[in-house]
Structure 1
Amino acid sequence: MMSCSRRNFISGIGAIALVSGIPIKTIAQSEEETKTIRYAMVHDETACIGCTACMDACRETNNVPEGVSRLEILRSEPYGEFPNQEYEFFRQSCQHCTNAPCVSVCPTGASFIDPKTGIVDVHKDLCVGCQYCIAVCPYRVRFIHPEHKTADKCNFCRDTNLAQGKQPACVEACPTKALTFGDMNDPNSEVALKVKSNPVYRTKVELGTQPNLYHIPFQRGEPRR
């Protein structure tokens, strides 16, 4: 029985294309073009100083009004005695869950996962403000935008910085490089290498949400669950 290797098959297809004069793409090219991105972020709690520059940058870049926030930096109780006290800083924002409950419960399809990037976002023109997504989110990171009257949250600056080929505003603003962002499906990306080379945790993974926000834990405290 004649065997046909992947290389021979691709070569044969190329020969057919040359003879027929019809340009076609190789399988390798097609696979590369259909490869999906899964954006993720790492918050290094050992590097974060709680300056909240990320919060300010997010608010300015995405026109987030006062009274609501797409991300928060939460400070723990102090560890140690004065004057040698230390604090743990925890990033609370959308986890961009691969299995997002907010998407499952949305009755209008306003809450969705971008199939090209894995980013969880909201179609404002479809949102009716029912707040089902807010109620079901286990991370409590969604809110009703006081001006648009629709659900809102972190979207990794999908329609602002990312659309301009830049990193999310919080990443660009962080003075200690405590935030790393990129494609987890690319094993050579900075974010994938960061996760691989450091002890990391994700919150509430027992719920099956498959969050894409990773944390490098502050060594003196217990990782948040």
Structure 2
Amino acid sequence: MRYGFAIDTKRCIGCHTCSTACRIENNLPAGMWWNRALTEGGAEMDTPAGEFPDATMSYLTVACQHCENPACVKVCPVGATYKDPETGVVRQDYDKCIGCRMCMSACPYNGVRSFNWEEPSYVVDFAMGDADVPPHQKHVVEKCTMCWHRLAKGEEPMCVKTCLARARFWGDLDDPESEVAKLVRERSSKQLLADEGTKPSVYYLV
């Protein structure tokens, strides 16, 4: 299997529900985001490019691309960043991570990883999200896990489950009968920095 996403940029409304749901489900520390909704338009969030009547604006949700050929895995000296052989999900082993941040340097997708410089702090005084989420640690690199704890229970990632516009699709890209594979096959799509050779498993339908 090769799990991946298809994101319909024509349907995405930039509501940030996927980003917020990800934060809550994974009990992310204060100030940390694994998934962000970026505005393709003006210099500021939710501003268009150009001038009326020729203004344009769309949204691009960006997280770990769970690459088929991940640069981060190649440079990790301790195997803390690795690709799951059964699903293709690029994972992080917090207990192995030594905080060298080589994975962050090698990854061509800026901002999809975060580093806990200090002991993680939270905006509320109790844990949120799923009880199976691994505890966050100091001096450890973090990123989207594709909600690994949910996949282990046969559930889809929380960002897909909560998408209000039904713009996010997930499944096995190697299964030609899966919804995500059909969308990638039948619709025009793009991948981020495809020329880097990482073969990302996130397709943006255009």
Q: One fold, TM greater than 0.5?
A: yes
Counterpart selection for 2:18 from 25, 40, 54: 54
Shift of 1:194: 0.6
Instruction: Give the match's secondary structure for 1:127.
Output: coil
Distance 1:166 1:120 in 2: 17
Distance in 2 between residues matched to 1:137 and 1:197, nearest whole Å: 29
Taking the aligned partners of 1:73 and 1:193, their CA distance within structure 2 comes to 24
1:204 to 145, 168, 193: 193
**SS of residue matched to 2:148:** coil
Equivalent position of 2:39 in the other structure = 75
* Cα distance in 1 between the residues matched to 2:50 and 2:108: 32
1:143 paired with 2:114, answer yes
* Secondary structure class of the residue paired with 1:175: coil
Tell me whether 138-147 or 184-193 shows the greater mean CA deviation: 138-147
Question: Do residues 129 (structure 1) and 118 (structure 2) align?
Answer: no
**Structure 2: where are the runs of 5+ without partners?**
43-47, 121-136
Structure 1: unaligned runs, 5 residues or longer: 1-36, 218-225
Residue number in structure 2 paired with 1:10: none
Q: CA deviation at 1:86?
A: 4.9
User: Offset of 1:142 from its aligned partner?
Assistant: 1.1
**What amino acid is aligned across from residue 168 of structure 1 in structure 2?**
P
The superposition leaves residues 194-218 of structure 1 with CA deviations (integer Å, 9 ceiling, x where unpaired) of 101100010111111011010012x
Q: TM-score, normalised by structure 2?
A: 0.83
In the TM superposition, residue 89 of structure 1 has moved relative to its aligned partner by 0.1
1:145-164 equivalence runs, <5 A: 145=116, 146=118, 147=120, 148=137, 149-159=139-149, 161-164=150-153
Percent of counterpart pairs with the same letter?
Answer: 40
- Cα-to-partner distance string for 1:8-38 (whole Å, 9 max, x where unaligned): xxxxxxxxxxxxxxxxxxxxxxxxxxxxx10
Q: Relative to total residues, which structure has the larger helix share, 1 or 2?
A: 1
Aligned to 1:174: 163
Superimposed CA distance per residue, residues 68-112 of structure 1 (whole angstroms, 9 cap, x where no aligned partner)? 110100012215656996521011110101111100000001000
1-side partners of 2:101 and 2:201: how far apart? Answer: 23
Of 163-172 and 47-56, the range deviating more from structure 2: 163-172
Give CA-to-partner distance per residue, 1:161-184, whole Å, 9 cap, x none: 222221101001101110000001
Deviation track 1:34-72 (CA, whole Å, cap 9, x = no partner) reads: xxx100101111000000000010000011122111010
Tell me which residue corresponds to 2:8: 44
Cα distance in 2 between the residues matched to 1:79 and 1:127: 41
Partner in structure 2 of residue 194 of structure 1: 183
How far apart, in 2, do the equivalents of 1:183 and 1:193 lie?
Answer: 10
Aligned to 1:118: 88
2:59 corresponds to 1:89: yes
**TM-score in terms of structure 1 length:** 0.76
User: How many equivalent pairs are there?
Assistant: 180
Amino acid aligned to 1:170: C
**AA at the equivalent of 2:154:** G
What residue is the counterpart of 2:128 in the other structure? none
Q: Which has the higher contact order (CA 8 A, sep 6+)?
A: 2
Structure 1 residue aligned with 2:173, among 174, 184, 192?
184
